Amino acid sequence: MGLGFYHSRAQNLNEITEIADGSKILVLNYHQVDNKNTSLSINISDFEAQMKFLADSGCVTITPDELYAGLNGEIELPPKPVLITFDDGYIDNYKNAFPILKKYNLRATIFIIPAFTSVYPNYMTWEQLKELEANGITIESHTLTHPKLEELPDDEIRNELLNSKTLLEEQLGHPIEFLAYPTGTYNLHIAGIAQDLGYKGAFTIKYGVVDKGSNFFALERVPIFHTPTTMKDFYERIAWRQSFEEFGWIKK
């Protein structure tokens, strides 16, 4: 497949069904929602347009638990399941993204760095996280301090994964069972440590759509960035996953 084919745009229900039907689950990955025009910051108007598109297309937002249960055959997922995720826990997730998600009746999951929570002003507080959870937002782990796990010895990896899980559970009062790897980097050894500590699954930034062939500790996501053509790129990323295989972004 050549680059000339990389032009599809999911602009109707049928096109999005092709990539998110049944057990194929689109997992979107965001970081910040503001108007700073940095690569990790989706403009507020673009984020709203993307959420409106998902809602108008009949997509149903799910949680990591529902994704896990659906792939295990424990529940039947809706026809167009989408998991919306945010990494890091920036304050704009609460101020800007949350009202838009509520407006379109969409759920999301935020992977939190607990050592930054209620500490730095550009990150959310514990009270804000509790409010989010009371309104359909799932909170999960992004390690304790957001290090590059592959550069750490085993005892530090365990501390990052376990202390994040423990602190989140103490503050929020429920099990924390899913992880997003900082910077998306991981290896099978790190995945094994996460599993030993009680995590049920972990998310990467490896391009792709989650299905029954996915590794629960290397779950694919589609990162959404700010670009000169953000909306065009959004449509292409969610509609044309064949390009993932073209560039070697395949399940392994």
Condensed to tens digits (0 to 9), the pLDDT of residues 143-201 reads 999 999 999 999 999 999 999 999 999 999 999 999 999 987 889 999 999 999 999 99
The tokens for 149 are 């796990």
The span from the CA of 106 to the CA of 28, in Å, is: 13
**159 exposure class (CB count in 10 Å sphere: 0-12, 13-18, 19+):** middle
> Do the Cβ atoms of 143 and 199 come closer than 8 Å?
no
Locate the domains of the chain by residue range: 3-246
Per-residue pLDDT of 53-87, as tens digits, reads: 999 999 999 999 999 999 998 999 998 999 999 99
CB burial of 93-107 (b: ≥16 within 10 Å; e: otherwise) equals bbebbbebbeebebb
What would the DSSP string read from start to end of 101-162? HHHTT--EEEEE-TTTTTTSTTB--HHHHHHHHTTTEEEEE--SS---GGGS-HHHHHHHHH
Q: Does the domain spanning 3-246 belong to CATH 3.20.20.370? A: yes
Identify the H or E element spanning 60.
strand 60-61
For residues 208 and 32, give the distance between their C-alpha atoms in angstroms, rounded to a whole number.
21
Residue reference for tokens 């990323």: 237
pLDDT of residue 241: 52
Q: What is the pTM of this model?
A: 0.88
Q: Whole-number mean pLDDT of the chain? A: 88
3-state secondary structure of 207: coil
User: pLDDT tier at 207 (50, 70, 90 boundaries)?
Assistant: confident
Contact (CB, 8 A) for 178 and 203: yes
Cβ partners under 8 Å of residue 155, min gap 6: none
Asked whether residue 136 carries a pLDDT value surpassing 70, the answer given is: yes
Token output for 102 = 């509520």
* Pairwise CA distance, residues 235 & 228, whole Å: 14
